Amino acid sequence: EIVLTQSPGTLSLSPGERATLSCRASQSVPGNHLVWYRQKPGQVPRLLIYDASSRATGIPGRFSGSGSGTDFSLTISSLEPEDFAVYYCQQHGASHHTFGQGTKLEIK
Amino acid sequence: EVQLVQSGAEIKKPGESLKISCKGSGYTFTTYRIAWVRQKPGKGLEWMGIVHPDGYDTRYSQSFQGEVSLSVDKSITTAYLQWSSLKASDTAIYYCARHNTGLDYWGQGTLVTVSP
């Protein structure tokens, strides 16, 4: 199974700042089928980005994804209060899908 | 409106069996696979497996192969996650989710507590 490693584990930033989260795969993700989710405390995860760089329906433009092969990133251009949460990457290119361990984005 | 509605919280003892459900509505149920995701208290998301509503191509994560069983009854647009013998380490929230280009709709989660 493809192992996804997210970094950093915790990111401390202030509202209005730019955040960049990383997701590295143990082998190339077929089709670059890499997605990103945000999970606020006590809530269900929400799909943000699919196929590495496409925004899901209703996701604001401050969220962008990039990367291919084994290295992917999620950028939030200007943090809003609701963005302080945990972010997960997931690949579904291989037959067994896997999640990264998550990055917690906290208020500095 | 697309909805996935899961069955309610369960409290079980080790060794007991359990089957939880996930009912889809608001879309063509047979078009999309249903995935199951575990989240232990205070921990991350774990992909357990995925099942096609027509019943073919069921896949399990290596971590869950042989531990759980996924099934679907498309006549009532419902997917199931089943255990034959629960362990205390199965205590978690279990989510079902529709697989599209990612997991685009999620159930509300079912809390399963396994305690002597």
Burial of B44 (0-12, 13-18, 19+ CB in 10 A): middle
Cα distance between residue B56 and residue B58, in whole Å:
6
Q: Do A90 and B106 touch (CB under 8 A)?
A: no
Q: What is the DSSP string of A55-84?
A: EPTT--TTEEEEEETTEEEEEESS--GGG-
Q: Do A44 and B61 touch (CB under 8 A)?
A: no
pLDDT of residue A19: 98
A62 phi, psi to nearest 5 deg? -70, -15
- State the nearest Cα–Cα gap between B50 and chain A, in angstroms: 9
Cα distance between residue B58 and residue B35, in whole Å:
10
Q: Do B47 and A99 touch (CB under 8 A)?
A: yes
Mean pLDDT of B30-54: 96
Number of neighbours of residue A17 by Cβ within 10 angstroms: 13
Q: Do B35 and A97 touch (CB under 8 A)?
A: yes
pLDDT score of B13 more than 90: yes
In chain B, which residue's Cα lies nearest the Cα of A53? B101
pLDDT of residue B30: 94
Task: State which residues of chain A have pLDDT below 50.
Answer: none
Q: Do A95 and B103 touch (CB under 8 A)?
A: no
Say what percent of chain B tops pLDDT 90.
96
For chain A, positions 33-72, list CB contacts with chain B under 8 A: 33, 35, 37, 39, 44-47, 50-51, 54, 56-57
CB A90 within 8 A of CB A37: yes
* Distances, alpha carbon A5 to alpha carbons A69, A70, B50, in Å: 14, 10, 22
pLDDT of residue B57: 86
Contacts of B16 (CB under 8 A, 6+ apart): B85, B86, B114
Say what percent of chain B tops pLDDT 70.
100
User: What is the arrangement of strands in the sheet containing A71-76, beginning at the earlier edge strand?
Assistant: A4-7, A19-25, A71-76, A63-68
Contacts of B33 (CB under 8 A, 6+ apart): B50, B51, B52, B53, B57, B98, B99
Say if A28 is an interface residue toward chain B (CB within 8 Å).
no
**3 state DSSP class of A30:** helix
**3 state DSSP class of B31:** helix
